[in-house]
Amino acid sequence: MTTLPNGCLSAWCWNIAHRVARAIPGNRAIYGGLVLLALLPALAMGKPDLTQKVGPTLADSGSSYYRFERYELGSVDGQRHYRVVLGIPKRAAPTAGYPALYLLDGNAALAALREPWLQQLDAGNPPLLVMIGYATELRFDVAARAYDYTPAVQPGEALLDDQGRAAGGSQVFRQLIEQRIKPLVESRYPLDRNRQGLWGHSFGGLFVLDSLFAAPQGFQHYYAASPSLWWQGGLVLELEKRLPKGAVAQLVLMRGGAEGQRHRDQDSAGARARASLPATALPQMAERLDRLPGLDVQYQEIAGLEHGPMLPASLEQALRLFGRQ
């Protein structure tokens, strides 16, 4: 098990403070401190704010290393509406095409994206970023993601989550990615089909695992952050047994060291569901999967982080790791 002291998000904060200090000699302590203070709310937040708006992003302000394009499309049944933002490296594609990293909760991922991360990617072989979000000004469309990111025992089975929202549509969403989103991206830019990754957090992390177990050929690299293993009483642990023999993939499982601590909503149905599995469920999954000959599995615990801050922290880590492939 790999533990990242103080969390990679904290390291990212220091990196930004250091850059600011270097850029403004004589005011290093002041400006570095201001940057860190500005980021403390994100570090302290226990859960993601599902009502927060996207606000200005790098797609609005511009980047020295990436340019951005936006596309919108609807689900086949017309019930969900997607916004796909492409982050295209300004550097020319390699001969084999760009590696591509697909990011779930694309609105929140775009809002979290930072210029130093893109600079770091540019120093290597920068991937094309495919941020799959929803056509809303909010970072999260809670109803749509509850359906898209959650599996059912049998594909097409009607389910409701603990809030009464339609759920269990992960197979339908996976088909949308494979049959509509991937072809859209490939029609615009050359991609290396042998270097594709998928990242997701929380319900998104659950979808990453479900996709690995149901269709491991879809991607070569999987990044599941704080996955909701508790969904439907640990259904994904049963779906794990359906992983096709001979599957080949790299999987990174990430979790915050402070996740699972007791909160004010500890008596809610959702909290009871989250407490239904032991805290060791994720590292135990990593150990099981790493014993399979075709899988290369890493488990990383980021010290001090709760569930909410794990979204940007795990995204930064996924970009860092994928950029090294």
Tell me: the pLDDT tens digits for 310-324? 999 999 999 999 999
Question: What pLDDT score was predicted for residue 8?
Answer: 42
Residue intervals of the chain classified under CATH 3.40.50.1820 are 59-323
Place of tokens 């994720």: 282
| Interatomic CA distance for residues 242 and 300, integer angstroms | 24
Mean pLDDT by 10 residues, the chain (325 residues): 45 39 40 35 52 95 98 96 98 97 98 98 97 97 97 88 93 98 98 98 98 98 98 96 97 95 52 73 98 98 96 98 92
Question: What pLDDT score was predicted for residue 279?
Answer: 87
Q: Could you confirm whether 226 is annotated as catalytic?
A: no
Q: Could you confirm whether 10 is annotated as catalytic?
A: no
Q: What's the predicted TM-score (pTM) here?
A: 0.85
| Interatomic CA distance for residues 243 and 197, integer angstroms | 18
Catalytically annotated residue among 201, 307, 314, 316: 307
Tell me: the pLDDT tens digits for 132-151? 999 999 999 999 999 999 99
Catalytically annotated residue among 10, 170, 202, 228: 202
Catalytically annotated residue among 259, 301, 306, 316: 259
Burial of 233 (0-12, 13-18, 19+ CB in 10 A): exposed
Angstrom CA distances, 317 to 6, 147, 153, 264, 323, stand at 14, 27, 31, 29, 10
Question: What pLDDT score was predicted for residue 257?
Answer: 95
Q: Which class is 59-323 in CATH?
A: alpha beta
Q: Could you confirm whether 263 is annotated as catalytic?
A: no
